[in-house]
Structure 1
Amino acid sequence: MASFFSVFRSRRVGWLTPIGFAAGLPFLLSQGSLQTWLTVEKVDVSTIGLFTLVGVPYNLKFLWAPLLDRYSLPGFGRRRGWMLAFQALIAAFVFALGLLGVQGNLAIVAALALGLSFVSASFDVVVDAHRTDLLAPSERAAGTATFVTGYRVALNVTGALALILADTVTWRWLYFAFAALMALGLWFTWRVPEPEMKAAPRTLTEAVVEPFIDFFRRKGALIALAFVISFRVGDTIATTMITPFLIRTVGFSQAEVGTVNKFFGSLAAIAGSFLGGAVVAKWGLRRPLFVLGGLAALTNVLYAVLAHTGKSFPMLFIAVGFDSFAGGMGSAAFVAFLMTLAASRYSATQYALLTSVSSVGGRALGAWSGFLARELGWSLFFLITAAFILPALLFIAILPRSVEAANATPEAEPPPPRPPGC
């Protein structure tokens, strides 16, 4: 068992926990937690569904990712400089949302949420490129697991903890606290080592055009894109409506949802991501992607069962536990797969393209999730989201291995340099 998890001993892998925390903190503040805030303020469920569209920058980040590959901010390195800048902007947008509140003009709230999504998506671009450049190929699934650990802890802070505290503290003050926490995280980002880099693209044209040429001339590139697009569609659609479903339809309180769906679910997802990382390190990517991806989708059926049973804590724990654990395993394999597709010279652009298209289907349909749930009923809604995994399983089964990037990254590298101040 010790050898099974030995890949987690790498220092490179360990560095990714605080980075994951910084990346995870803003996500729910423009997505799930904001939707919960809107739910509590009795905003119509159809409008809440439309707020999914503020996450569109996550789908379009590949458009400006070449700029982040081509240019760097002086003094902090090609990756870390951008990470620090975007993290400061995230803190500013979160503070502004808290200052305004959602009881005012919803158009202004949406604009601020859109701005937060833009800088958060940009932060993700450089964070993902940093992780891809830092890790050896054999460490990528394990690195994903430690990154997800930090990410999930942040989701607990902005999700579970926020829902529990929201019964006694206003959401506006919670957003102020999250802005301060994000600002404090700048210290950790400053200490993270800058990976040794290949030369940046010499011209903007090279930074924009070459990453796409490099990817699309590989055999199986279109199949790979089809898989990436379809893998998370059902999960994204279901996740958008889980909190309104549990609070409004089933009748759980905010604190109950925070404790079970957010806190317990995050712990299960962290455990699943570590197991998924170890499985991929031992058996490779293809079989785990197929098996774990299918298993993660099938767990949506458990929410359909919960719609029939009504308010039941045992059923809630079962649904959330299995869904989160399987989702954590599947995500570790999926993210490691995306990293194998990104060439190190163009890691920011290619990884941004892949992560953008990975959510484009779910984002587009997620905007209509409230309408679908209302028209179809919750049971049929969750059953349909589970079926969305079937095309992805077909694509991964026929995907040629030649589509993976031929990176000249060694399996084992010397430890990264110590960060400033150590």
Structure 2
Amino acid sequence: MFTNDVDDYQVLLFDESFLVSTISNADVRITGFELELGAVATEGLDIVAGFGYLDDKFTDFINPLLSEDSSGNRLPFTPRFNYNLSVQYLASFGLLSRVELQGFFGSYFFDEGNQFEQGPFALVNARLGYERENYGVYLFVNNLFDTELSSRTVFRTRECAPKVRRSPNLRRSSQSKLLSIMKNTHPPAKLVLKKIWILGTLYVAQFLPIAFFLQTLPAYMRQRGMSVEVIGLTSLLGLPWMLKFLWSPFVDRYRLSNRGHYKSWILTMQGFMVVLLVICAFLNIKTQFFVLLAGMLLIVVFASTQDIAVDALAIGILTPPERGIGNAVQGGCNYLGFILGGGVLLVLLEILGWEGGLLGMAGFVLTLMMPILAYQESDPAPRLGEQRSSSTQRANPVMDYLRTFTSFCRRPGIGRWLLLLLVYFLGTSMTNTMFRPLLVDIGLSLSEIGWMYGTAYSAGLMGAIIGGLLVKPLGRKRSLILFTLLLTGVNLLHLLPAWGFTSLPLLYVVSSGFNLAYSMVAVVLNTIMMDKTRPEMAGVDYTLQGTILFMGSLTAAGISGFLTTAIGYSGVFIVGGTITLANTIVVAKAFFHEPST
């Protein structure tokens, strides 16, 4: 906390020629506080959050150009509230990735008369590089989502000022004697940022428990001395995610309240998740494991149902040009949820114990509900079921249910597209599944593999962002071809460790490169999947496509071990790269038209 009284504070004033006319002195008082929290979640992973408040004002100042008393007004270019959040991962061999959010809200004036005010805004910056003790090389992007905002103003008196266009995001009091000719703030950019913020918080909230149950929980159970047979039962928690397409028609057809069709599902499912997390926190993991397993299974059911609703909401609120960056947010937040649920929560469990860790996760998921609570969802297109007569629905409820799936599959070109989805990640899944056993055979410890994949997941987060930014300028088809070619190259790069090149930096490059390229391809595929959905059945169509993509990957993962026994690691990696290259050729020869914007 701080309080400062400043005499002869310099105020920059402009005359009617737009040039600096004079620098006047003023007395001011500045009061405020700053709060910063930092955590080292794991070795190399730093999370820093900050919040600041500033109450500054003129205690004695009269504008010599306008003869106006500005005493008591706020100082220009000082936000009332500011906040920041940064996540940085620095691998032991020097690879660095960093994402940061900086935002301001409250009053932020451009003039000493407090006549012109900037609305709240947030900026996202990202950095990827290589850092050593004496040097570093970085690729960075500031203002990642191209948010347009007013940065400066020039003022003139009313008597000599021409007519100028004012920014819709710039507020002015009724007694102003000034006009602003600042850069026009772009309202759509602010709207896109709001959409991304809402979707991002929802994707993190739904993926956080999944990552915790499938990644952190087995390690925690083993640490508590539980048998591997019991630990193996936790794999059942992934079933609802694979089978969620079965109940997706109900999410599309029915609303649970008048708070918005998909919003009602999201709030209900996320609310149930919070309640069950609190209940599970007070269950004994050893003596009440099967009750706990049932509770966790329900949480995954609610999370997967929320995923249907969030995907459908995203399809409805994102325009075709926005879907690339929207899917980048989806992929990036999934990786962030994986990092938090699979890494940070493991540390919290060690510090706070089972009860404290789950209560903390419940509180975090509850906090992530705040943005969607304030969102006003517009009515979606009429549900497909609403377009049929009620007598038909009563007479053939089963056929009506099946028709929601078959009607999508019968659309022109959809059959070929679904077949492409089924085989698209076959080769990639084979390669990825067999890479971990190869690392063990090479002689890496579990901790070394864990640190390696921590870096790889950070690279995946960056890949999702890069892919989303490039989808719009490159187009869907070109992006998919280029990114899949990159993924083919990384698939074949796995041959080097299989042939005996096993230096740790090379292994980091292979694992990080794979996750980078994979997430870039996934963003494009998800964007195209959105394009191909029907607005009236967005949940069903998108979920069905995602399930087919997942089933193809799961099948390839299942047979990869048998294939490795037959032809070895090198053979599997060659087959995987060949299949991925073949998919690229198919896309180049016979693919879709670009969606209209």
Give 1:351 deviation, angstroms.
Answer: 0.8
Moved more, 201-210 or 87-96: 201-210
Is this contact kept in 2: 1:289–1:334, CA < 8 A? yes
Q: 3-state DSSP class of the match of 1:401?
A: coil
AA paired with 1:345?
E
Give 1:156 deviation, angstroms.
Answer: 1.4
Counterpart position of 1:341 = 532
Pairing 1:208–2:401 present: yes
Q: Distance in 2 between matches of 1:249 and 1:166?
A: 31
Q: Which structure's relative contact order is higher, taking Cα pairs within 8 Å and 6+ residues apart?
A: 1
Q: Residue deviations 1:262-317, cap 9 Å, x none? A: 3x333322322222122210121112213313423543455564566698542343
Moved more, 60-69 or 95-104: 95-104
Is this contact kept in 2: 1:144–1:277, CA < 8 A? yes
Counterpart position of 1:223 = 416
Q: Distance in 1 between matches of 2:278 and 2:443?
A: 32
Q: Distance in 2 between matches of 1:39 and 1:232?
A: 32
Q: Distance in 1 between matches of 2:496 and 2:216?
A: 25
Q: Distance in 1 between matches of 2:444 and 2:351?
A: 19
AA paired with 1:17?
G
Pairing 1:69–2:262 present: no
Pairing 1:157–2:348 present: no
1:148 to 307, 331, 335: 331
Give 1:51 deviation, angstroms.
Answer: 5.6
Counterpart position of 2:474 = 283
Pairing 1:198–2:418 present: no
AA paired with 1:55?
G
TM-score (norm 1): 0.78
Moved more, 135-144 or 81-90: 81-90
Give 1:364 deviation, angstroms.
Answer: 4.0
Q: Distance in 1 between matches of 2:377 and 2:512?
A: 36
Give 1:184 deviation, angstroms.
Answer: 2.8
Q: 1:135 to 1:189 in 2, by over 3 A?
A: same
Is this contact kept in 2: 1:285–1:333, CA < 8 A? yes
Q: Distance in 1 between matches of 2:220 and 2:440?
A: 12
Is this contact kept in 1: 2:202–2:369, CA < 8 A? no
Counterpart position of 1:182 = 365
Compare CA radii of gyration and give the structure with the larger one: 2
Give 1:227 deviation, angstroms.
Answer: 1.2
Q: 1:177 to 1:219 in 2, by over 3 A?
A: same
Q: Distance in 1 between matches of 2:590 and 2:270?
A: 37
Q: Which runs of 5+ in 2 are unaligned?
A: 1-140, 148-187
Is this contact kept in 2: 1:52–1:367, CA < 8 A? no
Counterpart position of 2:238 = 55
Give 1:320 deviation, angstroms.
Answer: 2.8
Q: 1:155 to 1:2 in 2, by over 3 A?
A: closer
Q: 3-state DSSP class of the match of 2:330?
A: helix
Give 1:122 deviation, angstroms.
Answer: 0.9
Number of equivalent positions? 403
Moved more, 121-130 or 148-157: 148-157
Counterpart position of 1:32 = 215
Q: 1:180 to 1:284 in 2, by over 3 A?
A: same
Q: Distance in 2 between matches of 1:363 and 1:349?
A: 21
Counterpart position of 1:261 = 453
TM-score (norm 2): 0.57
Give 1:319 deviation, angstroms.
Answer: 2.2
Counterpart position of 2:206 = 23
Give matches, 1:404-419, under 5 Å. Answer: 411=597
Query: How large is the Cα RMSD of the aligned pairs?
Result: 4.1
Is this contact kept in 1: 2:206–2:304, CA < 8 A? no
Q: Which runs of 5+ in 1 are unaligned?
A: 412-422
Moved more, 293-302 or 37-46: 37-46
2:510 to 319, 329, 332: 319
Q: 1:189 to 1:312 in 2, by over 3 A?
A: farther
Give 1:98 deviation, angstroms.
Answer: 5.7
Counterpart position of 2:37 = none
AA paired with 2:259?
F
Percentage of identical aligned residues = 22
Q: 3-state DSSP class of the match of 2:331?
A: helix
Give 1:237 deviation, angstroms.
Answer: 5.4
Q: Distance in 2 between matches of 1:285 and 1:328?
A: 15
Counterpart position of 2:261 = 78
Moved more, 101-110 or 7-16: 101-110
Counterpart position of 1:416 = none
Q: 1:157 to 1:284 in 2, by over 3 A?
A: same
Give 1:83 deviation, angstroms.
Answer: 0.7
* Between structures 1 and 2, the one with greater helix share: 1
Counterpart position of 2:522 = 331
AA paired with 2:531?
T
Is this contact kept in 2: 1:66–1:207, CA < 8 A? no
